[in-house]
Structures are given as structure tokens and as C-alpha cells.
Chain A
């Protein structure tokens, strides 16, 4: 008896040191079928990259006994994916990765969905937003740029962004409010395309996520002006001309008092039990410990805040309220029809 206990303890200790925490979950719920990992966005985008990285990590390190299957359901600005999950109550083999369209899509399109329809699992990371301009332009800081926007005839300065009435446009409207300027917002399909449009001078600035624009920065084609966060990003590797993510000032310190971070979190189907949620929380904790995940976080200069349970739900709720206010102010809410 004593030996088995000892055995168990050693096993647990080994598992703990390997996986970063105890394997108590083995007694609890486990997937019995392949798990569908839904992406409410198209192939090749930020959420897609993150989901596929996770799938790769799970497969490579055998973190799950059942395979993980990634499915894109991007229709209706992600509405398709959310509605699919909403209708899968009591199916614990479905999880979804979210971006800001968790809030913006139902508000802008009026589809019958709210995040409370789903079961929150965990916040994996927060994606930063950076104000970018073309490196050929003379603007060295936010003030230069805003002055130039003010000097130009109203509406001739073009801001490129991903999608319509989504995060990029929300930030654009917030910038207009904060500075008393007017941009012409041009929506594109994907973040990579937006960055290239800026390189080609078809737009004047963008608010791309770091991962979407880093290659063009390294190539000396784009220049970051500020990051829409309360503090600077923590990554100090050099990217271009001796500068790294850490050297980008916050927009607030540059006189542009706007903060915006995008949720990269996981939800699961409605009516999930605590055991089932715990299983996925465990799984993502393991994913976060792998070197591949850490590399991925570094490349994309992500904010690696990790939240679960009530804290996570509370964060989402605050964020939802904020989006509602922001979108109401910007007149982005769906007309009831």
C-alpha cells in the first residue's frame, strides 16, 4: 500500500515537473472523440495561425489522446462559427478561439448570439495593436502624424484596416475622437493585405497587429509610431535599426490616450461541466509551457496574460460593455430590421 502511494507521489512529481502541474485530471473527464477547434475567421489570419500553432503543439507533444481538428467557420464575420457552437450544447468536443468579433459581430450584424451563450475556458493571450506608417513618410512620432492629418483636407488621409465595424475601425474612430481629426477608413479582407497596402502607399496608416506587419518593419518598409497599450511591450530583441518592440512608446505617452487589446481566448460549447472546462484549461496550460508557444508569442509580440474561470468571465464582461459603448458612439450598431 505504502509503495503504491509512494509510486503515485513520484509519478505525480515527475508529471508535475514535465507538464508543469499535477495530472489529477486523469480521473476526470477526457475527450472520447476528436475535438473540433473552430476558428471564426478565414484561413491565414491571426486567429487561424494561433489555432493551427496550438494544433501543431498538441499533436507534436501528444497532449491529447484524441486528435484535434481545426475548422474555419468565417461566414458573416465569424457569426457562422459562433452560431455553430451555440447550437452544440452538451457537446464537449467543440471549442472555439475568439477575437474581438466575439463582441463586434453580434453588435454590428444583429445575429442572435452573445458570448454568455458559450462556456468561457481561458484567455490565452492578448494581441497588441500598433500604429504604423510607411517608412518613406517623414512622420517620426505620433505628433508629426496627427499634425499632418489635421493639416490635410478632411477625409483625404486613409486608414487601412481589417474588416468593417471591427477592432481596426473601432480604434480609428477612437483616434478621430481623441484628436478631432477625420480619417477615411478602408476595410480589407486580411491583416497581411492591409500591411502591404501601406507599403504600396495605397493607405496612409494602419493599426496592424505586430505579427501582421513585423516582416515589413524588418524590411525597413514600415515604421511603428506607438502601441495602444497601457505599458510598453516586453520583447527587447532587435527588429530593425537597433530597435525592438520594447522601444515603441505607448500611444498614451505620445498624447493619444487610447488603449485597445484584442482577446485571443478559448470558449467551449454551452452547458459544459466543470470537469470538461478543467480538462481544456489543463490542456492550454500545457500548451503554454512548450517552447513552440513561447516562440510564437515572441514573434507576434503578444501580451501573455493568462486568465481562467471567474476572472476570465469578468474580463470578458467588462470588455463587452466597453465594446458596446465604443460601437454605440461610432454608430456601428445594427439597425433593427
Chain B
């Protein structure tokens, strides 16, 4: 009960006029940051951090966390309209969001994405409000082996059956892993696969690969099919929002499952991007419409968006209660806390009640404000598709170049983006799936790092991945996910045999 009381005090703080103003400003800036590829939430928060120095800490964190919500919302916009993920966690949104837009359903896809984001975040905030201390202790149990198990689970639940030839899938996935391995090996501290090129020190950034493979690749495909954007006939009035809302409750199971996946991945802390892939993969297998995924199924937008936003929100919990960031953006926010003289950690909830509950209340309000802001803009976003291709295409290419550049401030990355674009075009035309490649780049180096940290600790024994209840459970879940189709087939066969016997 004390929590509820604290929360109401928090609302009182967050509802002060200055804080509401700060909230709206933060959301708008966040959406802009989310839309611009390359300028991610972490960059955005980092860039604007010094501006908040002159504010009281509570207002400052409200503004920064609202930028974060805004970026989470904004990432979906370019994914759906142009197949360019504005943020890493909206890659999975392109799989069905972009086909929807091509079918003239951009408005529906955007509404579904924004609403799901809100649902996911809301679920995660409720969880933070009610069970924060409990969840924090769970997060402490995650050593390297447990982290590897989580990555393993995320990977297995996405990769599984797909329509493409299996060896093409394997080849694509392995290319992703190889690209992820380039650069500094974090465990031995030595360079690998750079062949003496200092430009390759960084390795291949996920965002650059994605902007190239998806964004540039898509423009090249469009060029091949003639200078036209499909989807120009998208409805552009607000009634589309209400119509889509009528449809959404049908998918409550998917939403709930995605919320849970998101919260879990946010706390563990694997982050929003793996969460969105995992949620998409599971929804694809479980849904009766699974075969339609990838062709413009609204459920394929709901699942990743809900999970990404839930994970993004839940990632703030380990940051506040343990001082360990669940995402790069949370890491920057953490730096902000320290600069304002607040120490995240076990005592923050006790010593800085006003701050913590003000922040939690602003999570509720910030997301609500964000939802209203982005939903009212749906017609505007959808109308962008009506701009003729020969105007919008060079603008997108320039935007992609800016995005690729601003990831590491390097023109080499812009060239890499173009190379990835041509590769993406070639791979797509010859039937190589791009999604496993991208997922491998995201998870590859993290999974390898966790795996090798575990082995260092266990002195080379693989037994560490089954050494306690937690890690064994996650590993077994992963194996089940990997062999799901085989298990399912075996089960149906057993049943038919039982029926005939």
C-alpha cells in the first residue's frame, strides 16, 4: 500500500506544469531522434544530457526518460514507411510493418505499432511499481552463464523453421556471426579479422548493416520495379486509428506474451532488440496465422513492438536499483544520475523517494502523452508515402548516409552502408534471408563474450551452462525452442498413432 501512496505523490510531482512541459518537449525530441536513423536513443539522451544540468534532477530525468520513450515510439515510423529501422529494436517491426504499408495499410500498421508500444511500456511500469525490489534481486543472479543462456534462448526462438532453403539460412546467419566477430576481441583484448585495416577496429555496427541491407537494398529493389512507391493510397485520416483499435483486442494473447518476454529480456538484461526478435519468432510459431508472417500480418507488428517497449522500460529497473544499465540508453541515464549527485543502487528507493516515484509516475504519464502525440500524427506520417519516389528516394538516401555517419562519425561507415545495400539487394534477389543475418550481428559478439566469460570462470568446463536451476531452465527452454518444429511433429505423430491404436 505504501507504494501506491508513494506513486500518487509521484503523480503530484510529475503533474506540475513545468514537468508536463518538459515531458511533451522530451517526447517530441525523442520521436525526432527515433525517426532519424543512426541518432539513437542513447545518442539523443547523451547529447541532451548537459542541457538538463540547470534543471532540478526530477525534471531532468523526466525529460531524458521521455526522450527515451519518444525514441522508442519513433523508431517504428521509418521501419513501417520505408523499411529503414530508425532504431535497432524496430528491425523486427519492418518484417510485417513494411509489407502492410506497401498494401496501403500504413495507417493501420503505425497505429498498431504505437498502441502496442504503449501497452508494453504500461505493463512494464506496472511491474516496476509493484515488484521492483523482488525483480532487482532476480537480476543479481545473472552471471555470464545465465546471460549466455538468455541470448541462446532469444536466438533459438527466432531461428527455427523458415521458408528459405536451410543452407541459405545457415550461410546468412554465419555471415552475420562472422561480421560481428570483426574488431577487438573483448576477452583476449587483441584484434581479429581486421587484416591490418584500422577502419575495421570498430567491427561492423549493426545499425550500419541494417540501414544498408534493409533501407538501401529496398530502394534498389524499388528502382528495379520502376520508379514507384507502392502504398501511396494509404488512408490519411484519423478514423483509421479507431478502426485499428477495434481490431486490436483480438490479439490480446500475443500482447500479453510479448509483454512478459519484453520485461524478462529487459531485466536480465539482454535489452530491447533481442526481445523484439524473440517475441516475433515466438508469435510466428504460435499464431494460427503464422504462415502469413512476413507478408503484412498485423500480429507481426504487435509482437515485436510490445516486447521492445516493455524491455526498454523494464531495462530502467536494474539501472535504478542496481546501478547496472539494461540498455545503452539506460547507461547514459545512469551517468546523468551520477552527475546530479544521485547514486543509483540499493539505497536509491529509500533515500530518494521523491525522485524515484516522480520518475515512475512520469513513465505512466510520459507514455500516455507519447501515445497521444504520435497517434495524432499518424495521418501525417502516412501522407509521406504520397510524395513521389524521385523526390523521396534521394532524401532517404541522404538520410541513410547521415544515419550511417552519425553512428561512429566515420565516412568509412557510409561507404560500408552502400556496400551492405548492394549486398542486401543481391542476397534478397537470390533467396538468402536477411533477418537471421541481422540477428546474428546483434547477438553474436555478446553471446560469444558471455560464453567465454563463463568458460573462464568454470576453467573450460561446459558444465557451467547446467550448473544451477536458473541457467539449466533457460538452456532447456532454448533447446525446446530450437527443436520446436520437430517436437511438434513428433507430438502430432504420437497422437495420430494413439488414435489409430
Contact = CB atoms under 8 A, between A and B. Distances in A.
Interface of A: 42-44, 48-49, 52-53, 55-57, 59-60, 70-73, 75-77, 79-80, 83-84, 108-112, 155-156, 158, 163-166, 169, 184-190, 192-193, 195-197, 199-200, 202-203, 211, 214-216, 218-221, 292, 295-296, 299, 332, 334-335
Contacts of B190: 108-109, 165, 334-335
Interface residues of B, number: 51
Interface in B327-374: 328, 331-332, 334-335, 338-339, 341, 343-348
B198 A112 contact: yes
A34 to B, nearest CB: 12
7 contacts: A72-B46, A75-B201, A187-B186, A200-B140, A219-B345, A296-B339, A299-B343
Contacts of B142: 200
Given A158-B457, A164-B189, A196-B322, A76 B201 contact: yes
A332 B189 contact: yes
Contacts of A60: 50, 53-54
Contacts of A163: 186, 189
B344 A215 contact: yes
Given A165-B189, A200-B140, A215-B347, A73 B408 contact: yes
A59 B53 contact: yes
Q: Which of B46, B47, B198, B344 neighbours the largest number of chain A CB atoms within 10 Å of its CB?
A: B198
A200 B143 contact: yes
A195 B189 contact: no
Given A59-B53, A60-B53, A187-B189, A216 B346 contact: yes
Contacts of B322: 196, 199
B427 interface: no
Interface of B: 42, 46-47, 49-51, 53-54, 140-144, 183-191, 198, 201-203, 322-325, 328, 331-332, 334-335, 338-339, 341, 343-348, 408-409, 449, 453, 456-457, 459
B408 to A, nearest CB: 7
Contact of B140 (A112, A165, A196, A335): A196
A110 B195 CA distance: 12
A49 B338 contact: yes
B189 A76 contact: no
Nearest to B196: A337
Contact of B453 (A43, A108, A110, A188): A188
B184 to A, nearest CB: 5
Contacts of B184: 75-77, 79, 109
Q: A-B pairs with the 10 shortest C-beta distances?
A: A215-B345, A44-B331, A76-B201, A164-B189, A219-B346, A75-B202, A202-B143, A165-B189, A56-B50, A200-B140
Contacts of B183: 75-76
A61 B47 CA distance: 18
